[in-house]
């Protein structure tokens, strides 16, 4: 297979059959071999029954039915794990992403990019509980991470499968997939895509997801900057706390020498609390370092990724080069 199109769905009985037809038409126009993977994330309506009909009529349509609702990120991960294509395309199952944009995104991959991220040009969503939180999240993420991302919430993406091997998806991490891939060394670009109004079903998004997205933002920031060496983060806070404790202690001693009553003095309390906070932060940093080392050792991860290798074969010249390098 050349392209695997992954579509997580939940309670989209009014959309899946037409969406399957639109994806098939778009992929046939691209001239590539393809498969379509629908992941039913615990639907309670007739979504799975309609998907069964699609799979029976089209051998390129594969269906995964999860035992319960795990969330969009897990459903997307399940589809990616089942995909066999060299290129993975993801999109939402509500038909708001336009499959007609897929061939153009695949062409961008042919130009040398590894990841193509969709950006919804004119969003057809409610302003208060969809568009406004999305704008705030995009701006906040760009400010915190230093990585420009125009539309975190757009599920329409085209990616080379080789870059998805070591990406861990959980929580709401599918939103940050493009950023994680870019951090892994993928060459990313953005394209404007068509965004259509929902014609059937109800949205699964609301203001309640905003807090989860913001919390995952902190996780992404930690993974991008401090995951390999967490002591740099905790050690910095611990050092600042220790300096604060020392300054407060000096002030306390100075006030004591001046005859000031130390009973209930806030600087004395600050000295003790900052010292204990510093000790705890240093301890947390050491534990985090140990956990990071155990993680890399147990999962046999190296902390780096090799793009190409030269003169590392079993031929005589390669062996000689390796011996000399050693």
All residues at 6 or more sequence positions from 125 whose CB lies less than 8 Å from its CB, including other chains: 96, 131, 203
Are residues 191 and 248 part of one domain? Answer: no
Are residues 116 and 234 part of one domain? Answer: no
pLDDT digits (tens, 9 = 90+) for 169-198: 776 777 788 788 887 788 989 899 888 887
Are residues 182 and 72 part of one domain? Answer: yes
Report phi then psi at 206, rounded to 5: -165, -175
Domain boundary among 208, 225, 242: 225
pLDDT at residue 125 is higher than 70: no
Q: What integer pLDDT is reported at residue 320 of this predicted model?
A: 40
User: Count of alpha carbons within 13 Å of 306, Cβ hemisphere only?
Assistant: 6
CA angle, corner 306, sides to 315 and 222, nearest 5? 160
pLDDT at residue 207 is higher than 80: no
User: Mean pLDDT throughout 285-303?
Assistant: 76
Please answer whether residues 53 and 59 qualify as being in contact, where contact means their C-beta atoms are separated by less than 8 angstroms.
no
Are residues 317 and 168 part of one domain? Answer: no
Are residues 216 and 230 part of one domain? Answer: no
pLDDT at residue 144 is higher than 70: no
Domain boundary among 171, 190, 225: 225
Q: What integer pLDDT is reported at residue 255 of this predicted model?
A: 86
pLDDT at residue 50 is higher than 70: yes
pLDDT digits (tens, 9 = 90+) for 61-108: 999 999 999 888 889 999 999 999 999 999 998 898 999 999 999 999
What stretch of H or E contains 98?
none
Number of domains, the chain? 2
**CB-based burial of residue 53 (10 Å sphere; 0-12 exposed, 13-18 middle, 19+ buried)?**
middle
Are residues 290 and 217 part of one domain? Answer: no
Are residues 221 and 245 part of one domain? Answer: no
Q: What integer pLDDT is reported at residue 325 of this predicted model?
A: 39
Are residues 234 and 216 part of one domain? Answer: no
Query: CATH number for the domain including 13?
Result: 3.90.550.10
pLDDT at residue 264 is higher than 90: no
pLDDT digits (tens, 9 = 90+) for 150-172: 777 788 999 999 888 877 777 67
Distance from C-alpha of 277 to C-alpha of 281, rounded to nearest angstrom: 6
Question: How are the residues of the chain apportioned to helix, strand and coil, as percentages rounded to the nearest 5?
Answer: 50, 15, 35
Q: What integer pLDDT is reported at residue 307 of this predicted model?
A: 67
pLDDT at residue 326 is higher than 70: no
pLDDT at residue 229 is higher than 70: yes
Mean pLDDT of the chain: 82
Greater model confidence, 96 or 214: 96
Are residues 65 and 205 part of one domain? Answer: yes
Q: What integer pLDDT is reported at residue 250 of this predicted model?
A: 92
Range of the domain at 214: 3-225
Are residues 204 and 239 part of one domain? Answer: no
Are residues 243 and 218 part of one domain? Answer: no
Domain boundary among 204, 225, 246: 225
Are residues 198 and 69 part of one domain? Answer: yes
User: Mean pLDDT throughout 206-225?
Assistant: 71
Q: What integer pLDDT is reported at residue 177 of this predicted model?
A: 83
Confidence bin at 322 (pLDDT 50/70/90): very low
Residue 20: both structure tokens together = 């399957």
């Amino acid at each position: 297979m050349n392209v695997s199109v992954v579509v997580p769905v939940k309670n989209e009985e009014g959309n899946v059959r037409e969406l399957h037809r639109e994806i098939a038409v778009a992929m046939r126009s691209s001239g590539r071999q393809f498969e379509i993977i629908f992941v039913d994330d615990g639907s309670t309506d007739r979504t799975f029954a309609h998907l069964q009909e699609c799979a029976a009529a089209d051998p390129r349509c594969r269906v995964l039915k999860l035992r319960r609702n795990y969330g969009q990120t897990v459903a997307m991960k399940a589809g990616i794990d089942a995909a066999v294509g060299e290129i993975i395309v993801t999109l939402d199952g509500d038909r708001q992403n336009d499959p007609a944009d897929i061939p153009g995104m695949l062409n961008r991959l042919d130009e040398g990019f590894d990841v193509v991220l969709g950006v919804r040009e004119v969003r057809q969503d409610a302003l208060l509980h969809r568009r406004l939180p999305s704008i705030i999240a995009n701006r906040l993420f760009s400010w915190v991470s230093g990585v420009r991302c125009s539309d975190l919430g757009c599920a329409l993406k085209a990616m080379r499968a080789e870059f998805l091997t070591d990406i861990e998806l959980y929580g709401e991490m599918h939103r940050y997939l493009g950023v994680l891939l870019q951090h892994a060394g993928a060459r990313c670009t953005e394209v404007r895509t068509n965004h259509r109004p929902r014609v059937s079903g109800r949205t699964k998004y609301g203001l309640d997801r905003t807090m989860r997205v913001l919390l995952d933002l902190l996780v992404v920031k930690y993974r991008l900057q401090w995951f390999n060496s967490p002591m740099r983060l905790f050690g910095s806070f611990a050092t600042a706390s220790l300096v604060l404790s020392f300054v407060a202690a000096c002030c306390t001693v100075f006030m004591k020498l001046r005859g000031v009553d130390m009973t209930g003095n806030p600087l004395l309390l600050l000295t003790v609390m900052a010292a204990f906070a510093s000790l705890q932060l240093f301890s947390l940093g050491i534990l985090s370092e140990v956990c990071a080392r155990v993680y890399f050792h147990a999962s046999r991860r190296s902390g780096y990724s090799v793009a190409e290798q030269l003169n590392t074969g079993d031929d005589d010249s390669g062996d000689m080069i390796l011996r000399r390098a050693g």
